[in-house]
């Protein structure tokens, strides 16, 4: 296949950054999109990111769809930080302020929300219900649920809550995040052992009063400043275990920023957070070689970048 030129937006949700392509009129196979993701998300290349987002066509029941490819080319069931960015592009393309979005294995409701701060484009997303049956991951541990117990095949005494959002998450509550320990556990899961063939995201979570701080080793990415579905899974886990209350606002902090969360008793999780444009451009991708080049940056969103910086400064205090 010859080089393909893509127009895209470089965007982020709570510091989780991506190139985002309107793919509604682009006919590529999943294997080709995986190659594009590896080329564009490569931090050593001209763009870089935690993965690749695609705005796709809708269906009879959905206004549009989203696909998310991790930096290693694997496709995720969802990405809630990325979903907000895709929602924004879909809203702008179709003139909507609310939509039902088809994800890989589920769907979600998105709507324009009041800005977190002046100039911070904000989307509210509702996903779920969160799932507790680990047999569907599959996680082969001889049990149906893992709630506040060690994961039998994992060499760790940490007590985890295993949650599907719908992508798989192992959440543990800690007094203080030990990144070296988090990376060690994350890498053990990333190796796709026989007991966890589809891998999992791993989060260490601090409870800070009525708020949370979440640090995540993301499947297909590694240690990341932010993971939206991990923040959703962590919020659900905190309510499930009685650390925080259902139907009560929660601020979830991460190294990339913050989101507002709420969890219902029927396991639905809502996140309200930013969908920030950083810059627009176009680039050639040699799909066979998985190489990107000839980047043209067409416009920077300086005002949006500055507006988000105020939120990020608040989150770091």
The CATH number of residue 230's host domain is: 3.10.310.10
Give me the domain span that covers residue 56. 4-125+274-315
| Same-domain status, 147 and 257 | yes
Instruction: Read off φ and ψ for residue 244, nearest 5 degrees.
Output: -130, 170
**Could you tell me if 29 and 98 lie in one domain?**
yes
Average pLDDT over residues 122-148: 95
Selecting among 11, 79, 85, 189, the annotated active-site residue is 79
Q: Are residues 156 and 60 in the same domain?
A: no
pLDDT at 314 over 80: no
- Percentage with pLDDT > 70 across the chain: 99
What is the pLDDT, as a whole number, of residue 217? 97
Residue 123 pLDDT > 90: yes
Instruction: Give the chain's mean pLDDT.
Output: 95
Residue bearing tokens 């994350």: 186
Tokens of 159: 């007590």
For 266-302, the pLDDT digits (tens) are: 999 999 999 999 999 999 999 999 999 999 999 999 9
Shared domain for 112 and 141, answered yes or no, is no
Residue 136 has pLDDT above 70, yes or no: yes
End-to-end CA distance of the chain: 49
- 136, 128, 304: which is closest to 228 by C-alpha? 128
State the pLDDT confidence band at 316, using cuts at 50, 70 and 90.
Answer: low
Token pair of 9 as six digits: 């937006």
Distances (CA, A) of 295 to 43, 98, 305: 14, 33, 20
On whether both 77 and 166 belong to a single domain, the answer is: no
Catalytic pick among 11, 85, 189, 227: 227
Any idea which residue has 């209350």 for tokens?
Answer: 245
Token readout for 282 is 């176009």
* Confidence at residue 78, expressed as pLDDT on a 0 to 100 scale: 87
pLDDT of residue 72: 93
Q: Are 42 and 14 contained in the same domain?
A: yes
Alpha carbons 177 and 130: distance in angstroms, whole number: 24
Residues 255 and 307 in one domain: no
Q: Is 189 designated active site?
A: no
Model confidence over 159-200: pLDDT tens digits? 999 999 999 999 999 999 999 999 999 999 999 999 999 999
Q: Which pLDDT score, from 0 to 100, does residue 1 have? A: 58
What does the alpha-carbon distance between residue 300 and residue 9 come to, in Å, rounded to a whole number? Answer: 10
Question: Are residues 141 and 184 located together in one domain of the fold?
Answer: yes
Q: How many domains does the chain have?
A: 2
Same domain, residue pair 143 and 186: yes
Share of the chain above pLDDT 90, in %: 90
Same domain, 34 and 81: yes
What pLDDT digit, counting tens, does each position of 205-249 carry?
A: 999 999 999 999 999 889 998 899 999 999 999 999 999 999 999
75 and 35 in one domain?
A: yes
Q: Catalytic site residue 239? A: no
142 and 256 assigned to the same domain: yes
């Amino acid at each position: 296949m010859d080089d393909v030129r893509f127009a895209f937006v470089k965007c982020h949700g709570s510091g989780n950054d991506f190139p985002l392509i309107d793919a509604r009129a682009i006919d590529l196979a999943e294997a080709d999109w995986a190659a594009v993701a590896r080329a564009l998300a490569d931090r050593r290349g001209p763009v870089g990111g935690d993965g690749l987002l695609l705005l796709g066509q809708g269906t009879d029941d959905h206004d549009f769809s989203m696909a998310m490819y991790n930096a290693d080319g694997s496709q995720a069931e969802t990405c809630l930080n990325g979903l907000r960015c895709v929602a924004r592009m879909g809203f702008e393309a179709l003139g909507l302020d609310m939509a039902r979005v088809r994800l890989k294995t589920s769907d979600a409701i998105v709507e324009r929300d009041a800005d977190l701060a002046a100039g911070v484009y904000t989307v509210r997303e509702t996903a779920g219900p969160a799932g507790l049956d680990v047999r569907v991951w599959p996680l082969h541990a001889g049990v149906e649920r893992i709630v506040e117990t060690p994961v039998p095949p994992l060499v760790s005494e940490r007590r985890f809550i295993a949650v599907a959002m719908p992508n798989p998450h192992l959440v543990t509550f800690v007094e203080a995040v030990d990144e070296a320990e988090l990376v060690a556990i994350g890498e053990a899961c990333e190796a796709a052992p026989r007991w966890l063939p589809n891998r999992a995201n791993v989060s260490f979570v601090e409870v800070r009063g009525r708020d949370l701080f979440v640090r995540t080793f993301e499947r297909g990415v590694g240690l990341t400043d932010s993971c939206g579905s991990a923040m959703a899974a962590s919020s659900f886990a905190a309510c499930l275990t009685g650390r925080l209350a259902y139907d009560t606002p929660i601020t979830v902090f991460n190294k990339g920023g913050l989101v507002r969360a709420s969890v219902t008793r029927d396991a639905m999780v809502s996140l309200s957070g930013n969908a920030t444009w950083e810059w627009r451009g176009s680039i050639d991708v040699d799909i066979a070689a998985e190489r990107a080049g000839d980047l043209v940056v067409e416009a920077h969103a300086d005002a949006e970048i500055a507006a988000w910086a105020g939120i990020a400064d608040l989150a770091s205090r």
